[in-house]
Amino acid sequence: MKVTEDTVGAFVDVLRQDGFAFVPGDAMRDAFAQAGSLADWDAFAASWNDLALDTHMADHGRYRRRRHAVYRAGADGAIERQTHQPHYQSLDYNRLNGGVARWFEPIVADGASLATILAYCRGLFGALAPDVARWHVEAHQFRIEARQGEAGLPTPEGVHRDGVDYVLVLLVARRNIASGTTTIHRPDGEPLGRFTLTHAFDAALVDDARVHHGVTPVEPVDASQPAYRDVLVVTFKATGEAHA
């Protein structure tokens, strides 16, 4: 469902009703601005030019670059970056690349924009789950590259869940690509919605326990020019700790 209001309350209502929301970039940027500064956004977006190749791809693809960071967030207070650690998903959630601890290069552009995005997500997802005292948070920078004869796969594992509670997928940049359409499904596979993130700050908000999601492959429009899709994915998972 398309969301145009820029308040946490409106997004909460849509997520509770549908399990997902598409938020246009202008509305998402305005919503982030309620939580903090985006003053370093240009530098943050430029950091996607320095992502390392993902060498863990079981399909042997060389179309994905990424960086990763882990945080601990309480219901209130600071969101604290944790010692660098691997990303792990079980095979239940990632049939292609799951079952192993995957180490990625750390996120280095850890400034105002990322802090604001994390703070906003904590407020939004905390409103959906007010009993959660602590969150395990992971941030992933992804660049999916498309070349002539080699499509880029934003979700090479197919339509899936991430094995967390909530997900933000935020478009940072999109250059010279076609497709890359997000699809949302019930657990039984029934389609619920589809939309394409096309402008900076366009976002998908997902209740990962209720719906599955995927993204169609991207192909270059002009094969002689660089073609890529840059997104930030943020996941929140309750740690099971109770309020003091």
Structure tokens at 184: 């949302």
Per-residue pLDDT, 32: 94
Rounded Cα–Cα distance for residues 120 and 122 (Å): 5
Is residue 170 pLDDT above 50, yes or no? Answer: yes
Helix (H), strand (E), coil (C) string for 137-170? EEEEEEEEECECCECECCCCCCCECCCCCEEEEE
Is residue 110 pLDDT above 80, yes or no? Answer: yes
Structure tokens at 170: 């935020």
Per-residue pLDDT, 88: 64
What is the pLDDT averaged over residues 133-142?
96
pLDDT in tens, 186-243: 999 999 999 999 999 999 999 999 999 999 999 999 999 999 999 999 999 999 765 5
What are the residues facing 243 on neighbouring strands?
Answer: none
CB atoms within 10 A of CB 148: 11
Structure tokens at 154: 């934003």
Contact between residue 47 and residue 141 where contact means Cβ atoms under 8 Å apart: yes
Is residue 96 pLDDT above 70, yes or no? Answer: no
CA 208 to chain centre: 12
Rounded Cα–Cα distance for residues 106 and 154 (Å): 20
Contact between residue 156 and residue 56 where contact means Cβ atoms under 8 Å apart: no
Q: Give this prediction's pTM.
A: 0.91
- Taking Cα atoms as reference points, which of 146, 184, 195 lies closest to residue 19? 184
What is the pLDDT averaged over residues 133-153?
93
3-class SS of residue 118? helix
Task: Report domain extents, the chain.
Answer: 8-238
Rounded Cα–Cα distance for residues 112 and 109 (Å): 9
When the candidates are 3.40.50.970, 3.40.50.300, 2.60.120.620, 1.20.1270.30, the CATH number that belongs to 8-238 is: 2.60.120.620
Is residue 4 pLDDT above 50, yes or no? Answer: no
pLDDT in tens, 60-95: 677 889 999 999 999 887 899 999 998 765 555 545
What are the residues facing 175 on neighbouring strands?
Answer: 228
Structure tokens at 167: 């997900």
> CA 22, 24, 25, 28 torsion: positive or negative?
negative
Per-residue pLDDT, 103: 84
What is the pLDDT averaged over residues 108-119?
96
- pLDDT band for position 155 (50/70/90)? confident
pLDDT in tens, 18-58: 999 999 999 999 999 988 999 999 999 999 999 999 887 66
Rounded Cα–Cα distance for residues 184 and 211 (Å): 7
Rounded Cα–Cα distance for residues 138 and 159 (Å): 20
Burial (0-12, 13-18, 19+ Cβ within 10 Å), 179? middle
